[in-house]
């Protein structure tokens, strides 16, 4: 999708000065490994800060075996109401979903990232259609597992059909609590606590200025001008 800036402080490209601010929340992973991850996701690519935060959070959870309701550490971009298949999403979840919805990482960056994750942590990142991310063992063929197929099938069906999306302020919102207790959601304490941590980091980052002309490859426009000629 095409995304237009909203003016929110964290709705911007990642900056090299964000690296140490974000890394400070994940000391166990080490600055060397985090710098390598940063290099992989920014190789000829401009992700947003939420991407680095999400990757580090999933690595940390995987190392801690903090898997919650899933076989492996998973980050749903919305909670699925298990009775209606409607989606419920906090504002914090929406902030991360919008980043991945606008193509957080190009295919090349995912490949580079997974090489680093395998080398450093024996892990890899996998994505569910447009609705979640998961950190699994590097040697696991996640796409062949029944749990991945079932999640991807249902999530993509809900997206294609366009079931209702209920946006709540946070996980203490009465609408979230009601659906959690009455209908059941596919997110529990591990998943909600993870989002609370990530959103707190994301909203602590300062505003920064960027110039898209300075960020682009210098000969980008001339390349098309030559073709037109």
Per-residue pLDDT tens listing for the chain (229 residues): 677 777 888 888 999 999 999 999 999 999 999 999 999 999 998 999 999 999 999 999 999 999 999 999 999 999 999 999 999 999 999 999 888 765 567 889 999 999 999 999 999 999 887 688 999 999 999 999 999 999 989 988 998 999 999 999 999 999 999 999 988 999 999 999 999 999 999 999 998 988 888 888 777 777 776 655 5
State the Cα–Cα distance between residues 109 and 187, nearest whole angstrom: 28
Please give the pLDDT value at position 228: 52
* Residue 88 contacts residue 54 (beta carbons within 8 Å): no
State the Cα–Cα distance between residues 103 and 97, nearest whole angstrom: 10
Please give the pLDDT value at position 129: 73
Please give the pLDDT value at position 1: 61
Q: How far is CA 204 from CA 25, 46, 199, 207, 220, in A?
A: 11, 20, 8, 10, 34
With b for 16 or more beta-carbon neighbours within 10 A and e for fewer, the 38-68 pattern comes to: bebbbeebebbbbbbbbbbbbbbbbbeebbb
Please give the pLDDT value at position 53: 96
**What's the number of CA atoms in the CB half-sphere (13 Å) around residue 51?**
28
Cα torsion angle, 41, 93, 160, 181, sign: positive
């Amino acid at each position: 999708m095409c995304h237009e800036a909203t003016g929110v402080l964290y709705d911007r490209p990642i900056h090299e000065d964000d690296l140490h601010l974000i890394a400070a929340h994940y000391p166990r992973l080490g600055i060397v490994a985090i710098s390598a991850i940063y290099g992989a996701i920014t190789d000829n690519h401009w992700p947003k800060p939420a991407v680095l935060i999400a990757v580090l959070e999933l690595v940390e959870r995987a190392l801690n075996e903090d898997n919650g309701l899933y076989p492996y550490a998973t980050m749903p971009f919305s909670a699925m109401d298990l009775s209606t298949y409607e989606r419920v999403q906090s504002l914090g979840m929406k902030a991360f979903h919008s980043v991945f919805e606008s193509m957080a990482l190009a295919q090349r960056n995912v490949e580079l990232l997974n090489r680093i994750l395998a080398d450093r942590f024996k892990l890899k990142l996998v994505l569910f259609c447009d609705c979640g991310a998961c950190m699994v063992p590097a040697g696991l063929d996640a796409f062949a597992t029944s749990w991945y197929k079932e999640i991807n099938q249902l999530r993509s069906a809900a997206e294609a059909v366009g079931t209702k999306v209920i946006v709540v302020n946070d996980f203490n919102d009465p609408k979230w609590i009601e659906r959690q207790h009455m209908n059941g959601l596919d997110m529990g304490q591990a998943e909600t606590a993870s989002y609370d941590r990530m959103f707190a980091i994301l909203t602590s980052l300062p505003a920064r200025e960027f110039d898209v002309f300075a960020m682009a490859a210098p000969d980008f426009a001339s390349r098309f001008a030559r073709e037109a000629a």
